[in-house]
Amino acid sequence: MTVKTPNILQDSPDGASCPALTVHELSAGYRGARRAIQDVSFAVMPGERIGLFGPNGAGKSTLFKAVVGLIPHDTGHISMHGQDCRTSHDRVGYVPQAEEIDWSFPVTVRDVVMMGRARHIGWFRWPRRRDWETVDALLDRVGMLAFRSRQIGQLSGGQRRRVFVARALAQETDVLLLDEPFSGVDAAAEEEIFDTLDRLRDEGVSVVLATHDLGTATRRFDKLLLLNRALVAFGPPQSVFTPEALRKTYGGQIGVFQNGERSIIVMDEHGCPGDPCE
């Protein structure tokens, strides 16, 4: 049930015909290692929110790093609004996993967001007044302006994630890749992050969000992308979130039960941790 790019350019929330991000038959991996992902194809329309799901080691982080140019891709094509990735890598905003960031580094919230302006400022140049005004506007956009003078490590997990969303937006991008933004945050912080993403969607910002929380799959995303080194399925939740597709993604036996608006997923010991997974 893998869906190739030519079939996924049709359904846009606002009727737009040109994808914000296109990934076509992408294969990538780390130097000296076998390919972590192979022949992955999907397209993200303006304003869409895509949920990226897969087990540990499925290649979710590799996919993100290949899209933003942190690792090379062996084969395939990536484009932003129809522009080849070689000229548009820096137009994709990337928020890495929390453990990849040194939270003890002595920088303020404002400084962190300013780092996203580096391409616009230029190397060895000081930020101008309009750059600081842009940073403050972005912090206000994600509800973090009041914390602009705090050291980044003094913030809660959810607040840190929102600051890094602002940092990604500082690149003047309308496509965000978020790698496990809910790891280590509580339910209230997760809701704050989704509130921020809801506002950005209203502004036409597209988001691809990697998460292990299958309970959000049918409630929070326009489309789902199931990945296990190769693309298993891509499309609307009602057609992708099925026991067959989840079994191909995670392995083992799996059951999906609807409880009102919530989906309850029960996996055996070879699936995700916990029983049930919600």
What is the phi/psi pair of residue 13, to 5°?
-60, -30
d(CA 196, CA 165): 9
* Buried/exposed 108-126: b ≥16 CB within 10 Å, e otherwise: bbbbbbbebbeebeeeeee
Domain boundaries, the chain: 5-241, 253-278
pLDDT band (50, 70, 90) for residue 174: very high
Q: What dotted CATH number matches 5-241?
A: 3.40.50.300
Position 4 scores a pLDDT of 37
129 or 5, which is more confident? 129
What is the phi/psi pair of residue 90, to 5°?
-80, 5
d(CA 209, CA 229): 17
Residue 238 has pLDDT above 70, yes or no: yes
Residue 214 has pLDDT above 80, yes or no: yes
264 or 273, which is more confident? 264
First to last CA, the chain: 24
- As a whole number, the mean pLDDT across the chain is 84
The sign of the dihedral angle between the CA atoms of 115, 45, 205, 56 is: negative
Closest CA to 38 of 56, 62, 20, 16: 62
Record the pTM.
0.83
Position 273 scores a pLDDT of 39
131 or 4, which is more confident? 131
